[in-house]
Amino acid sequence: MNLKAMADELELEEHEYIELIHLFIETSATDVEILKSALANGDAENAANAAHSIKGAAGNLRLNDLYETAKKMEMAARDGNLEDVSGDFVILIKELTSIETLTEGRF
């Protein structure tokens, strides 16, 4: 992931982009908890809404892999298929962790 190129695409300085990613990671923690709870309780609507929130923010930041995972999760939840959402939840966490690790200690 080339952070400089992604920042340029959004017409931001790299440090501004990384600050936005840090904010995204902090705020997405709430959506991750909602997703986890929704999956545990069989709540497809809340799972879809949380995935939608992550998808939107990831898309705005051009975090395309994360966007696609969250989109897939949202669509599965809207179809009531929480088994697929649960499987993709692991991928979502790995992607978030990877992004956090990549930007950790930068700016």
Average pLDDT over residues 32-58: 97
Percent helix / strand / coil, the chain, rounded to 5: 85, 0, 15
Q: What is the pLDDT of residue 48?
A: 98
What are the residue ranges spanned by the domains of the chain?
Answer: 16-99
Cβ neighbours of 66 (radius 10 Å): 24
Average pLDDT over residues 10-30: 94
**Whether residue 107 has pLDDT greater than 80:** no
Q: What is the pLDDT of residue 104?
A: 85
Q: Which residue has the tokens 């930041």?
A: 61
Give the predicted TM-score (pTM) of the model: 0.91
Q: What is the pLDDT of residue 55?
A: 97
The CATH fold of domain 16-99:
Four Helix Bundle (Hemerythrin (Met), subunit A) (1.20.120)
Per the CB < 8 A criterion, the answer to whether 96 and 57 are in contact is no
